[in-house]
Amino acid sequence: MNKIALLTSGGDSPGMNAAVRAIVKTCLFHNIVPIGIRDGYKGMVEGEMYEMKYSDVDNIIHTGGTILGSSRCLEFKNKETRITAINNLNQIGVEGLIVIGGDGTFTGASILSDEMGIPVIGIPGTIDNDIYGTDHTIGYDTALNTVIDAVDKIRDTASSHHRIFFIEVMGRHAGFIALNAAVASGAESVLIPEEIPDLNELVAQIQSQNKGKRSSIIIVAEGEQEGGSIELINKVAPMLEGYDLRPTVLGHIQRGGSPSAFDRILATRMGSYAVDLILEGQKGIMIGSDGDKLITTSLETAVKLHNTPDLERLRLLKKMLTRY
Ligand code: F6P
């Protein structure tokens, strides 16, 4: 084994750099040349690759984003585009590929793994935590803490001005961030993609909570079924006359920032393990975590199935409501 290539793809997530660092350092430890691919699959197609050295990964463990760059490369769905990409890797003698990303990244990786003659290993990096085969994706813990920090700040205004805030968080298809941010920030309610919301119940809840408290935090996952925080306010406003309803969309603030200790450790373990797996002759698999253990799942299964949050937390949230 002489050369292993690596890329980050899809939405960036805090801790991707820690994973890149671990892959590069483990490769160099084994006298393997790490080849960084710029901007995800796009760089693979365009031949944007470079030999990485220790100095490339100095002082990046604490940084957000990805030093390799990322993209969502839709052209990768075409077989001809993938052949160009594979030829580019073959030409420089790459013998293994590690991809860090989410669902879309693994869909590409799973196809590549069948088409390419070289092993492909996936590392889950997305703030959404929606990847099957792992209980934590790299970046989720940091994003959750960023959301909680923002919600705590908004609560100061909510309680001072007796307002009802509908705070929209990321999660197109999965409610992990929303649900756990709601529990951890003491929110009064949460809307997630996995549950059909009952707007009458939401209104009744806001009315009952505000008898004494006169402020509420409602966490809204961007992919919930009413269309997001602004749409939701438009729908409930006629039933909540006299209440000051405010939307806040947290947006990309959730994807950035320095990774938490949890994400740095997870990323370092997964990055190093990915190189070990290639050296063991493994291929077509994704690394995941199960409690404190690292486990593997086939890339095919990881893209077919989805991780869903524990809905018991909705009931937990209800038990935390104050009854006036
Ligand atoms: O998949 C991660 C994620 O942050 C989602 O939560 C969000 O819906 C999406 O990416 C946003 O993607 P983009 O930055 O490409 O608009």
Q: Does residue 213 surpass a pLDDT of 80?
A: no
Burial of 198 (0-12, 13-18, 19+ CB in 10 A): exposed
The set of residues, in sequence order, having a beta carbon less than 8 Å from that of 34 and lying 6+ positions away, is 3, 4, 5, 6, 23, 24, 27, 28, 51, 52
Q: Which pairing describes strands 49-51 and 33-37: parallel, antiparallel, or unpaired?
A: antiparallel
Question: Amino acid identity, residue 269?
Answer: R
Cα(172) to ligand 1 centroid in Å equals 7
Task: Give me the pLDDT at residue 212, please.
Answer: 75
Task: Give me the pLDDT at residue 211, please.
Answer: 81
Q: Does residue 214 surpass a pLDDT of 90?
A: no
281: how many CB neighbours lie within 10 A of its CB? 9
Q: Does residue 116 surpass a pLDDT of 90?
A: no
Q: How far is CA 296 from the centre of its chain?
A: 18
Q: Are the folds of 3-139+259-304 and 143-255 the same?
A: yes
Burial of 253 (0-12, 13-18, 19+ CB in 10 A): middle
276 among known catalytic residues: no
Closest residue to atom 15 of ligand 1, CA basis: 11
- Mean pLDDT across 81-106: 96
The set of residues, in sequence order, having a beta carbon less than 8 Å from that of 235 and lying 6+ positions away, is 199, 226
- pLDDT-derived band at 65 (thresholds 50, 70, 90) equals very high
Task: Give me the pLDDT at residue 192, please.
Answer: 97
With pLDDT > 90 as the criterion, what percentage of the chain qualifies? Answer: 94
With pLDDT > 70 as the criterion, what percentage of the chain qualifies? Answer: 100
Specify which residues 34 forms β-bridges with: 4
How far is it, in rounded angstroms, from Cα 209 to Cα 195? Answer: 22
Closest residue to atom 9 of ligand 1, CA basis: 11
Task: Give me the pLDDT at residue 39, please.
Answer: 98
- Mean pLDDT across 264-279: 98
Cα(199) to ligand 1 centroid in Å equals 26
Q: Find out if CATH 3.40.50.450 is the number for domain 3-139+259-304.
A: yes
Catalytic member of 128, 130, 141, 263: 128
* Terminal Cα distance for the chain, rounded: 67
Q: Is 172 in the pocket of ligand 1 (CB under 6 A)?
A: yes
Pairwise pLDDT comparison (213 vs 221), residue with the higher score: 221
- pLDDT-derived band at 210 (thresholds 50, 70, 90) equals confident
How far is it, in rounded angstroms, from Cα 38 to Cα 36? Answer: 6
- pLDDT-derived band at 82 (thresholds 50, 70, 90) equals very high
Task: Give me the pLDDT at residue 322, please.
Answer: 79
Task: Give me the pLDDT at residue 321, please.
Answer: 87
Ligand 1 atom closest to the CA of 103, numbered from 1: 1
Helix (H) or strand (E) holding 248: strand 244-249
Per-position DSSP letters for 124-177, written without gaps between them: EB-TT--BTT-S--BTHHHHHHHHHHHHHHHHHHHHHHTEEEEEEE--SS--HH
The fourth-level CATH superfamily of domain 143-255 is Phosphofructokinase domain (3.40.50.460)
pLDDT tens digits for 278-292?
Answer: 999 999 999 999 999
Give residue limits of the domains in the chain: 3-139+259-304, 143-255
Best of 66, 73, 127 to mutate for ligand 1, by most ligand atoms within 8 A of CB?
127
Rg of the chain over Cα atoms, rounded to whole angstroms, equals: 22
- Mean pLDDT across 214-222: 95
- pLDDT-derived band at 115 (thresholds 50, 70, 90) equals confident
32: which DSSP letter?
P
* Mean model confidence pLDDT for the chain: 96
Strand 49-51's sheet: what is its strand order? 49-51, 33-37, 3-8, 96-101, 120-124, 285-290, 293-298
Cα(9) to ligand 1 centroid in Å equals 12
217: how many CB neighbours lie within 10 A of its CB? 25
Q: Does residue 232 surpass a pLDDT of 90?
A: yes
Task: Give me the pLDDT at residue 188, please.
Answer: 94
Task: Give me the pLDDT at residue 276, please.
Answer: 98
Q: Is 128 in the pocket of ligand 1 (CB under 6 A)?
A: yes
How far is it, in rounded angstroms, from Cα 35 to Cα 203? Answer: 55
- Mean pLDDT across 55-62: 98
The set of residues, in sequence order, having a beta carbon less than 8 Å from that of 211 and lying 6+ positions away, is 324
How far is it, in rounded angstroms, from Cα 140 to Cα 136? Answer: 7
- Mean pLDDT across 224-247: 96
pLDDT tens digits for 240-250?
Answer: 999 999 999 99
